[in-house]
Amino acid sequence: MGTLERDPRKYKDFEFNLRELAGSMGDFGTLFPLAVGLIAVCGMDATSLFVMIGLTNIVTGLVYRLPMPVEPKKVVSVAAIAQGWTASMVAASGLGLGLVWFVIVLTGALRKVIEVTPIYLIRGIQLALGVTLAWQAVRMISPEPWWGLVAVAIILLLRKSRYAPAAVVIMGLGVALMAWRGDLMQHLSFGFTLPRFSVPRWSDVWQAMVLAGFAQIPLTLTNAVLATAAMIRELFPEKPVSENKLMLNMGVMNVASSFFGGMPMCHGSGGLAGQYYFGARTGGTNILEGMIEISLGVFLGRSLDGLLGAFPMALIGGMMLMVGVEFVRPIIRLREWPLYLALVTTVVSVVTNMAVGFVVGLACMYLVRWLMRRGVLKGNLP
């Protein structure tokens, strides 16, 4: 536990213990900040947001029987917060993107992308994601650097503990800090609320797609589909999940969630890395996370924006930093041209975005192959 190297031990399809609970908290660094923004700025209903992502986690865990992160779509979520979208537009973006995922799979377009994408370009995308996570982590840590260092120290000391897993200890420390600062009782308000059914308007669907939805597509293809499927094959070779299945699953969960006020969701190699790093090994991780999220949404929905806003994000930043560093491991195994092209993909992805990095890396790959055939460059490039 505590590494992205494949764990050779055998596990059941579903285990429910402190290790799996810790793993379920491994991708909270993405969920918490974006959830706070969508609730506070866009006026999304906290109950709908958390109940829908919780239900999706439970169903996903039951279907795949392994850790499968469910997290906000970053491009759409960030754009929605920055541009002040309405809650109905955010939900409608999930319907639009869900329909796009169906079209991409059913037309065979995804298969063509897979066929032309070598593993070293995926490594470049993964490293770019690691750099991005680490940078976001530093920004989250900077207001309270000492607590970020405390989180890192806890991870280094307890990452292999069966009885006090690092992520559980860090979350407990965060709640204790909120109580000590007087933020816990100030924002805590119990109740019972459920998501409400509503039909997205097509005008909202189109507006959301134009503003950010179409820009989300290439990022989802590279990170949520190609990179996630590759990581699953490495960490769980006995339970491979095809790219088509991942995309179909994202289509279903986004279309369904949009009718109950949920946010647009996707899988992601960063979330999987976070879960695995902190101990997730079975579908129990998703079920535990889903139960936590549903409980938060149903019983604490009215106070979640305040509670999440008061949580010491430097602790989450420390968790994200350690996950980001782990993304260096796969790329150090590459040599010569595959390594160079992976690094080109990484640099361009970090400077611009992962979609542009992927296209530039692919173009450079074809250029290098052409120059090799003409004898201008030496070496071998698969």
Answer yes or no: is 150 within a domain: no
Percent of the chain with pLDDT over 90: 57
Answer yes or no: is 234 within a domain: yes
In tens, the pLDDT along 207-259 reads 999 888 887 887 788 888 999 999 999 999 999 999 999 999 999 999 999 99
pLDDT value at 3 more than 60: no
Taken in order 8, 1, 70, 208, the sign of the CA dihedral is negative
Question: pTM for the full model?
Answer: 0.83
Answer yes or no: is 342 within a domain: no
196-202 long-range contacts, CB within 8 A, separation 24+: 196/45, 196/48, 196/260, 196/261, 197/259, 197/260, 198/88, 198/91, 198/259, 198/260, 198/261, 199/259, 200/88, 200/91, 200/92, 200/95, 200/258, 200/259, 201/88, 201/92
Answer yes or no: is 56 within a domain: yes
Range of the domain at 59: 18-126+159-169+178-312
In tens, the pLDDT along 310-322 reads 999 999 899 888 8
Answer yes or no: is 7 within a domain: no
Answer yes or no: is 336 within a domain: no
pLDDT value at 362 more than 90: yes
Answer yes or no: is 208 within a domain: yes
Answer yes or no: is 55 within a domain: yes
In tens, the pLDDT along 132-150 reads 888 888 998 999 999 999 9
Give me the number of domains the chain comprises: 1
